[in-house]
Amino acid sequence: MDNNFEIKEKIAQLEKALLEQLPDMPKILQTIHRQLTKDPSIVTLLSEEDCNVLVRGLMAQTKTSIVTSAIKKPKKAANKMIVGVDL
Amino acid sequence: MNTPIPSSLDKIRERIALLRKESISPESTSPEVTPTPLPLFLAIHYKAYRLCYLDYNAGTKALIDWLSPIDFELEKHTDLPVFPRILYSYDINELAQLLVPLNDDVESIEKTLILQAVVARIIIHAAYKSATSDTSFQWKLV
């Protein structure tokens, strides 16, 4: 498939994933990244709207990873507190 | 009677130990990362500038994280022209600071500041070039 057509298609998929909150956004972003680093000149084909979708996708992805890491963290401190109170 | 351990077995054990070591070393597990050319980042950043700038440059930060490591190709820019001070806008300096963040290591602060200044000059130079001649990356001074 033509590389230029492929990146446009991926951007469209990313927009859909953003709108419908689909879980495959990281995979799409990874593919776009691979295509861009493989042939940086295709960036000239991207319109302002395409780049906006890309940045919106990245921001959504960053927020998701921040929230996930925040949820995973706690617990240890709570245990220590209980020990402290018992003593 | 104790049978001597064959030397080939020792070699196999050594090999297995080496393979295990290799499999847990970061070099072997991390995929090979291709550095992103700075103009590629600048092209996307320019086109999505308004969105990148919102929320204390949240978009720019996300873009830098995504494209890291970004290659500034410093060796290509050893003889950059001197630009008027008016071109060193807040935006350019802010972008250079995001691309080359200052860390807590006191010894490298001076180096980082120099690098930030050089990166700012590269950005201005690239913007000036794209504004005056037709290059493969079409973006202008932000």
Domain boundaries, chain A: 3-86
Is there a domain that residue B13 lies in?
no
Beta-carbon contacts of A19 under 8 Å, excluding residues fewer than 6 positions away, are: none
Number of domains within chain B = 1
- Average pLDDT value for chain B: 77
Q: Which of A41, A48, A62 sits opposite B136 (nearest CB)?
A: A41
Give the ipTM: 0.75
Q: Which of B62, B136, B138 sits opposite A55 (nearest CB)?
A: B62
Q: Which of B52, B137, B138 sits opposite A55 (nearest CB)?
A: B52
Q: What pLDDT, on a 0 to 100 scale, did the predictor assign at position B27?
A: 47
Summarised one tens digit per residue, pLDDT across range A34-60 is 999 999 989 989 999 999 999 999 999
Residues B8-34 have a mean pLDDT of 53
Would you place residue B19 in the very low, low, confident or very high pLDDT band (cuts 50, 70, 90)? very low
List Cα–Cα distances, A73 to A59, A67, A78, A79, B27, in angstroms. 21, 10, 11, 13, 27
Interface contact B141, partner A, CB < 8 A: no
Residues A20-40 have a mean pLDDT of 93
Q: Which domain holds residue B79?
A: 36-132
Contact B92, B117 (CB under 8 A): no
Is there a domain that residue B24 lies in?
no
Residues B56-69 have a mean pLDDT of 95
Is there a domain that residue B7 lies in?
no
Task: Name chain B contacts of A44, Cβ cutoff 8 Å.
Answer: 43, 136-138
- Average pLDDT value for chain A: 82
Residue A66 scores a pLDDT above 50: yes
Residue B16 scores a pLDDT above 70: no
Q: Tell me the β-bridge partners of B71.
A: B37
Residue B17 scores a pLDDT above 60: no
Residue A71 scores a pLDDT above 60: yes
Interface mutation vs chain B, best among A55, A63, A64, most B CBs within 10 Å:
A55
List Cα–Cα distances, B28 to B36, B66, B97, in angstroms. 21, 21, 32
Task: Provide the greatest CA pair distance for chain A.
Answer: 69
Torsion angle of the four alpha carbons A11, B126, B91, A35, in this order, in degrees rounded to the nearest 10: 20
Interface mutation vs chain B, best among A38, A54, A58, A63, most B CBs within 10 Å:
A58
Interface contact B38, partner A, CB < 8 A: no
- Record: contact B47-A41, CB cut-off 8 A: no
**Range in B25-39, B49-63, B66-80, B98-112 the model is least confident about:** B25-39
Is there a domain that residue B83 lies in?
yes
Interface contact B18, partner A, CB < 8 A: no
Higher confidence at residue B48 or residue A2?
B48
Interface contact B65, partner A, CB < 8 A: yes
Q: What pLDDT, on a 0 to 100 scale, did the predictor assign at position A70?
A: 66
Q: What pLDDT, on a 0 to 100 scale, did the predictor assign at position A54?
A: 96
Q: What pLDDT, on a 0 to 100 scale, did the predictor assign at position B47?
A: 93
Would you place residue B29 in the very low, low, confident or very high pLDDT band (cuts 50, 70, 90)? very low
Q: What pLDDT, on a 0 to 100 scale, did the predictor assign at position B142?
A: 39
Contact B120, B80 (CB under 8 A): no
- Record: contact B136-A44, CB cut-off 8 A: yes
Q: Tell me the β-bridge partners of B37.
A: B71
Is there a domain that residue B119 lies in?
yes
- Record: contact A58-B137, CB cut-off 8 A: no
